[in-house]
Amino acid sequence: MFLSNPFAELSAQIPVAVMQGYIVLMVAFVVIGTILDMMHKKSAKYFFLNAEKAKKNAKREVGAGEKIAIATKVLVVEVATSGEFKNVKRRLSHLLTMWGTVVFVATTAILIFKYPTPATPAPAILPQLWHIGALMLAVGGYWFWFSIRVDVSAEGLPWYRVERADLFILSLLATSTFALIWSYTQFNGIAGWSTLFLILFAASGVVLFGGVYWSKFAHMFFKPAAAFQKRVTVADGSRESLPPDYDLSSPEVHKLFPDVPMYMGKNPPNMGKGIRREPAKHY
């Protein structure tokens, strides 16, 4: 199964153009969903508002060269190695989930656009990476869902409790799980079931990429931008004048974000995507 390209076999039933059209549609969903999310959350407005405020409080100018060094640090620390997570288990689970998703999604596109039929055999490493990516995502995601996420680990809520904030993690898990079962049933010639799991795989993909506006999907774009901004404000010295970590109970943050209700309780309410019920500081 790990060496077989499931999309090449699928091309006997579904035209290659339909598979490629599906990928293009999912990319369009992500672009449109992220733009709508940014408009809805006014994240771009706050991002530049912050940059303006920081510039006024800056003790020194951060040059282009230094900004490139900072961007490189963000790519290596916050992005590639999930450096924002202080909790080792959470960091490992996020690394599995994130890199599993990247490998799984990238190899899906390469297999469908470059090696879509048996006449265009893919190098063995590609279907292997496709299956390994889906497995990494499943292992990291189920670990997070059943034992790491705060609802379960800190608040003792049952693992089967679902809320809208879980749309992202659940659609990730559904997509990877149905993909693996589809590949297995297709490889073993279990026709009826492989059709069912193909439909479930494609449908959960539509929920994952089509649900960006309602889920936490776009955090993968916002978090690096926020991490970059944070590092720049530390470098130019303006950070001292801002509260350390956008503590929702801080009057300063409230002045900055007047329409974000101040919250003095232990567990801030779910403020929509990207802010989970967790202490403001460390993950």
Residues in touch with ligand HEM (CB under 6 A): 78-79, 84, 94, 97-98, 101-102, 149, 166, 168-169, 172, 216, 219-220, 223-224, 227, 274-276, 278, 283
Please state the closest distance from residue 62 (CB atom) to ligand HEM, in A: 20
| SS3 label, residue 147 | helix
Rounded Cα gap, residues 3 and 127, in angstroms: 6
Q: Which is nearer to ligand HEM, 8 or 227 (CB)?
A: 227
| SS3 label, residue 241 | helix
Rounded Cα gap, residues 226 and 50, in angstroms: 10
Please state the closest distance from residue 91 (CB atom) to ligand HEM, in A: 10
Please state the closest distance from residue 222 (CB atom) to ligand HEM, in A: 9
Please state the closest distance from residue 230 (CB atom) to ligand HEM, in A: 11
Contact (Cβ atoms closer than 8 angstroms) between residue 220 and residue 42: no
Q: Which is nearer to ligand HEM, 219 or 254 (CB)?
A: 219
Q: Which is nearer to ligand HEM, 127 or 140 (CB)?
A: 140
Please state the closest distance from residue 78 (CB atom) to ligand HEM, in A: 4
Q: Which is nearer to ligand HEM, 19 or 208 (CB)?
A: 208
- Residues 111, 170, 41, 57, CA torsion sign: negative
Rounded Cα gap, residues 151 and 191, in angstroms: 39
Q: Which is nearer to ligand HEM, 66 or 84 (CB)?
A: 84
Give the ranges where the chain is alpha helix by DSSP (H).
6-10, 16-41, 43-57, 64-74, 88-114, 125-143, 150-153, 167-187, 191-210, 219-235, 251-256
Rounded Cα gap, residues 197 and 195, in angstroms: 6
Please state the closest distance from residue 193 (CB atom) to ligand HEM, in A: 27
Q: Is 255 exposed, middle or buried (0-12, 13-18, 19+ CB in 10 A)?
A: exposed
